[in-house]
Structure 1
């Protein structure tokens, strides 16, 4: 029972009122007056008490017992079963003798509005290369530049920076170790892509890792002849993700999520230049100090096939 704060009659007060009428012979108007309600209200609760006993004095739902527009349960179940047999909505409506809107409403509630909802989920396929450098995931994240604290920090969307431009964050993540390399470029052209690949290969070489293959999406910069020539020059094989399957490049996608949360939106930068300058420091923290759940909660650098002495030298 959920009695509102201004209610004159709680369950116990209703019971007292009807008992005053039935057991002590009080009239309905007198009992009503002593409880601060009208005689009509007293007779209403008396009628419920006589029909259903004390249980009749409990609050009832205000919902109608039967709605003329409500669909029967067996009809709703039949609609869902027909949908599972790949029937189109129009055909279901005609077959069941109901409107298309009714069919649409039932299927929406059942989560079967689209035929694709009937397809079984693709099994999650997880893999990991055996050694560092066997596969390097490369991706790009586009971030808007700004010249003042953004609305994510201030909460004031009227003060958003406009027409400032974009930063393109190129990321490269080693499949085995999750070691990452990042750089920010003013565009995502083939020139920036090939420059980033050269820089990434140089960085990983400094960490004792030789890159054998790279995996990218199907963007124009990665599909360009220039990028292919650089891969050939560096002796690197090139692979592309499946169309409309960003999860194929999952390591880079996951790294970008962490970078956005902990670096890009993790502090109140005065401008995008300040944000850009903070990236190398966060990238160092990610590689050397941040535990990674995908590799048993160790830092990526710990999975490199280098001696501890060499690693300490690089870190210093």
Structure 2
């Protein structure tokens, strides 16, 4: 349901006194959903009808900030990957990798070996600053077709014309077979 639909459902239940099951049937939702939106409307008003984030309010199992700082510091100082970081910090390699991603540290393969800075070869300040053009050079195809045409007609040419392929003259082009 959209925020407008939720608001209409909640107003029917709270303001107009509709039974929950009747409102749920009218708006084609379950009665528990109708009860949820009516409860939010009572508690928060029209602002409670907007979508809320499903992100948890707190993460009791998250890696402590001090350990995260140590992982990031070791990565910058020694330029080592998540497996070696995990061994030094006594954490799982997946945890070390997730910390590096959270702090926007790229993979070692994407970094310059000498400086440790990420290599971004095609970044430009504005669109169109870097233009790439592909040029295609067309080959010389003789009148009457190229290799495939002559290969296809090979048998017919040698039998019907005594071994000489047919000549096509376009705009008085010189004979290429004489």
TM-score, structure 2 length as denominator?
0.50
* Partner in structure 2 of residue 294 of structure 1: none
Q: Which has the higher contact order (CA 8 A, sep 6+)?
A: 1
Report whether the alignment pairs 1:21 with 2:13: yes
* Partner in structure 2 of residue 32 of structure 1: 24
Larger radius of gyration: 2
Closer, same or farther in 2 for the Cα pair 1:115/1:269, shift >3 Å?
A: closer
CA distance in 2, matches of 1:17, 1:104: 45
Report whether the alignment pairs 1:81 with 2:76: no
Map Cα deviations across residues 84-137 of structure 1 (whole Å, 9 max, x no partner). Answer: 121644553234331123324544651152596463389xxxxxxxxxxxxxxx
Map Cα deviations across residues 163-187 of structure 1 (whole Å, 9 max, x no partner). Answer: xxxxxxxxxxxxxxxxxxxxxxxxx
Paired residue for 1:46, among 38, 41, 44? 38
Could you say what secondary structure the match of 2:6 adopts? helix
Map Cα deviations across residues 140-192 of structure 1 (whole Å, 9 max, x no partner). Answer: xxxxxxxxxxxxxxxxxxxxxxxxxxxxxxxxxxxxxxxxxxxxxxxxxxxxx
* Partner in structure 2 of residue 99 of structure 1: 92
* Alignment check: 8 A CA contact 1:111 1:117 kept: no
Give the structure with the larger strand fraction: 1
Closer, same or farther in 2 for the Cα pair 1:25/1:107, shift >3 Å?
A: closer
Displacement after TM superposition at 1:43 (Å): 0.6
Closer, same or farther in 2 for the Cα pair 1:53/1:78, shift >3 Å?
A: farther
Report whether the alignment pairs 1:110 with 2:76: no
* Alignment check: 8 A CA contact 1:93 1:99 kept: yes
RMSD: 4.0
Gaps of 5+ in 2: 118-131, 147-178
CA distance in 2, matches of 1:107, 1:53: 41
The count of residues paired between Structure 1 and Structure 2 equals 125
